[in-house]
Structures are given as structure tokens and as C-alpha cells.
Amino acid sequence: MNMDELKRQAAARALEHVRDGMKLGLGTGSTARHFVDLLGEKVRAGLNVVGVPTSEATRIQAEQCGVPLTTLDDVDRLDLTVDGADEIDAALNLIKGGGGALLREKIVATASDRMIVIADDTKWVDVLGRFPLPVEVIPFGLAATQRAMAAVFAQTGNSGHMVLRKGKDGHVFVTDGGHCIVDAHLGQITDAPLLAGLLTAIPGVVEHGLFIGLANLAVLAGAQGIRVIERR
């Protein structure tokens, strides 16, 4: 079975948690894309839901699939967000932002009563950090922000190098919010909750890809089947 099929299986399992009338956060990335696709099939068959997309890419896909959309200005809380992740640990803390949508993803997940993270089982890790940690930053004062980030890494016992993300066209990658992303190659993150709080406190940092205590359930698809892990 190929990876894409596993991602679709995880998405299909998450869809079982969707009920008529729900307000949904719609994630971004190749796994979340399967969820939106399958959700669209249900909507066309009569399911009544409304979604808030976490990126322009997901907004366009959801519109094409016929999923009715709203915004967080028009609804106060969402029932459920379903999104992918780049890494998931046993506490269901996540690294997200590989697709560059981490800011909207975190706003939407935080506005949701529940978050289900869907992934193939290669995303499951003992310790977060093998995947470079995406940090969304304001272009102004970029070098100063990176120095502040380096100081926070040192303070928390983390080390590694930082890379300003480039797009496929070779130009600096720009997020839906008009910001840049610095990918921090840390290898293993020591005390992710502490690092998360300190990064948030840096003025030039808009948001970072550590999702601490946001996911309630992980649906992991692998060659041996689907594993569902609930946050304790």
C-alpha cells in the first residue's frame, strides 16, 4: 500500500467523527486534502456541515468540492478540526507547518472544541524535532528575530541551524499572511512546551509549529492497519 493510500485511510477514519450540523476546521497538506475530498463526497450526498479552511489552498479545494465555508468572524467556536502533522509524539504534541500554513492552522485548532490529527504512521516519533521546526516570522528585523530565536534555543538546551524557507521557484517563501518561515533544524527538541512559550514571546515571531495540547485524537495509518491514540 502506498503512502497516499494510508493518508486517505486516516482521513476516512476521521470522517467517522463528523456529524450533521458540525462546524469544522479544515486542515492543510496532502493528508488533510484527502479529508476535504471525502467530506465533499458526503456533502454532495446531503451532509450538512460548514467549514473554516486553514489556507487559501484548502479554501479553493473546499469550494471545488462543494463544502460550504464560513469564517471565524461569523462563528464563535468550531466543533472539530481535522488536520495533518509533520510529527506527533506520545503526548499528542505536534510539529506542524511543513506546508507553511501553521498560523491559520493554529488559530483554527485553538478555536475548535476538538482536534483530530491524521497521518501515516511515519509521523509518529519518540521525541519531536527530527522534522525542522517551522517558525513564522515578520520580514522586518529578520536577523534580530533569528538571534533571539538562537538565544531561546540555547536557553532551553536545544541547538541547530536555521534556514529561511524558499519556495519551489527559489524565492523566499511567503505565507498566506505575508510572512516568512524560518525552519529550525534542532534534531531533538528538549522540553517542547517550554520552547513553545519562549518562542511565542519573541516580538518578531508571529507563530511557531509546536502545537502543544491541541490535538485530542491521532489517527495513524500504517501497513498493519489504523491506530487511534487519544490524549490522556
User: Can you give the binding site for ligand 5RP, defined by CB under 6 A?
Assistant: 27-32, 83-86, 96-102, 105
CB of 119 to ligand 5RP, least distance (A): 7
Q: Judged by CB, which is closer to ligand 5RP: 6, or 43?
A: 6
Give the closest residue to 115 by CA, choosing from 87, 90, 85. Answer: 85
Q: Judged by CB, which is closer to ligand 5RP: 85, or 148?
A: 85
Q: How many CA atoms lie within 13 A of 42 on its CB side?
A: 21
C-alpha pair distances (Å), 76 with each of 72, 107, 108, 129, 183? 6, 12, 11, 33, 32
Beta strands in 10-71 (DSSP E): 23-26, 50-53
Catalytic residue among 105, 136, 207, 230: 105
Q: Judged by CB, which is closer to ligand 5RP: 82, or 202?
A: 82
56 is catalytic: no
Contact 26, 51 (CB under 8 A): yes
Give the closest residue to 54 by CA, choosing from 68, 30, 71. Answer: 71
CB of 115 to ligand 5RP, least distance (A): 12
C-alpha pair distances (Å), 109 with each of 49, 194, 217? 17, 20, 13
CA distance 165 to 191: 24
CA distance 60 to 14: 21
CA distance 116 to 59: 19
CB of 106 to ligand 5RP, least distance (A): 10
Please report, as a single letter, which amino acid is at residue 6. Answer: L
Q: Judged by CB, which is closer to ligand 5RP: 131, or 153?
A: 131
Q: Judged by CB, which is closer to ligand 5RP: 159, or 176?
A: 176
CB of 7 to ligand 5RP, least distance (A): 6
CB of 29 to ligand 5RP, least distance (A): 3
Which residues are part of the catalytic machinery? 105
